Amino acid sequence: MGLFENTLKSNESLFIDENVLDFNYLPKIMKYREDQQKYVAECIKPLFSDRSGKNLLISGKPGIGKTSAVRFVLRELEEKDDDISCIYVNCWKENTSFKVISSICEQVNYNWTQTRNINELLKECSKKIEKTVIVLDEIDKLNEKDILYSLLESIKNKCIFLITNDLNFLALLDNRIRSRLLAETINFKEYNLNETEGILKQRIELAFVNNVWDKNVFNEVVKKCHALKDIRSGLFLIKDAGNLAESSGSKKILIEHCKKSIEKLSTFKLRNSLDFSDDKLTILNLIKENSGKKCIELFKLYQTNGGDKSYQTFKRNVFDLEKSKVISIKNDIEGIIVKYGILE
């Protein structure tokens, strides 16, 4: 065997399509969520008979396919029927009533938003929408929930799907909204080990040329991803290990590439940093510089550095960061210990 046989040439790549490993990529076949997709589709079916469908609360932990499953159904709906509008709003980014309704206006091609109030915009939108499915993703991040009431009252034939990581979201809604929403609920369970392996294997087959992944190296990625209970972590590992191998000129993804990628997970943000508020980014950087301190100690440092939120708000932001898997929290006899990085 030649000494340079396993070295890439300048015009060679390990990747067929790196975009397949993006978090937002939607495969043609979505594994292991068929039952949930059928349930979502059943909720939509009355719209074909010019009746409102069922409203739905979709809950479960991050990175287990909630948004992808709904987007998969919407894609099939758009291919089948031009009369039903499909509207998707991410409430983490569009976190006020005006931003939500502005996004809806944009998606139904109504552009005269600057001089109109919310009620006027809703009235104009309702004229352009006869039948619609409205998906409000990350609904728990919406600052003003009254927009739900307005949508329910203003649009005639609709389904409203709310996606959230918070299992208690419905219980926290105002009674007048909850009584009109009458949402059914569906909870997404975490992927088991075999399902995790199947999803990551599907992405590898689409993203890479043949035979660049050794089975033992791939198994390391699967084990780590399953331990973290978040498919996005596995996609990160696969993409990063591939890039490390390629940059080193290797024709194979080796265990050392995988281990280096796993080390990066302690600083890898599963959410794009732009998704975090300025205050959360400040707290995250504070935790990074003072990993292992008690929450109350971090709060005092936060105040010293000019933070103006209460301790309860500070602590709530800390727990939100923990949900996003960029920090870990341990309840100790002396209080809440906060560490930067993902728990092993």
**Of the candidates 200, 193, 222, the residue with the CA atom closest to the CA atom of residue 20:** 200
What's the pLDDT score for residue 341? 67
Q: How confident is the model at residue 56 (pLDDT cuts 50, 70, 90)?
A: very high
Q: Is beta strand 56-59 parallel, antiparallel or unpaired with respect to 84-90?
A: unpaired
* Phi, psi (degrees; rounded to nearest 5) at 58: -110, 115
- The residue with greater pLDDT, 157 or 81, is 157
pLDDT digits (tens, 9 = 90+) for 75-102: 999 998 889 999 999 998 888 999 999 9
> 324 or 127: which carries more pLDDT confidence?
127
Fold of 273-340: Arc Repressor Mutant, subunit A (1.10.10)
Quick one: which of 80, 277, 66, 99 has its CA closest to 191? Answer: 66
Using DSSP's 3-state secondary structure scheme, residue 342 falls into: coil
Please state the pTM of the whole predicted model: 0.77
DSSP string over 87-120: EEEETTTS-SHHHHHHHHHHHTT----TT--HHH
Q: What is the mean pLDDT of residues 287-311?
A: 88
Q: Which CATH class is domain 34-187?
A: alpha beta
- Say whether pLDDT at 3 is over 90: no
**Mean of the per-residue pLDDT values of the chain:** 88
Sheet of 157-164, strand order: 84-90, 131-137, 157-164, 56-59, 184-187
CATH of 191-264, one of 3.20.20.140, 1.10.8.60, 3.30.565.10, 3.40.718.10: 1.10.8.60
Strands 184-187 and 157-164: unpaired
- What tens digit of pLDDT does each residue of 237-287 get? 999 999 999 988 999 999 999 999 998 875 554 444 445 666 787 888 888
Helix axes 193-207, 231-247, angle to 10 degrees: 40
Domain boundaries, the chain: 34-187, 191-264, 273-340
Q: Is 326 helix (H, G, I), strand (E, B) or coil?
A: coil
- 168-177 pLDDT, tens digit per residue, is 889 889 999 9
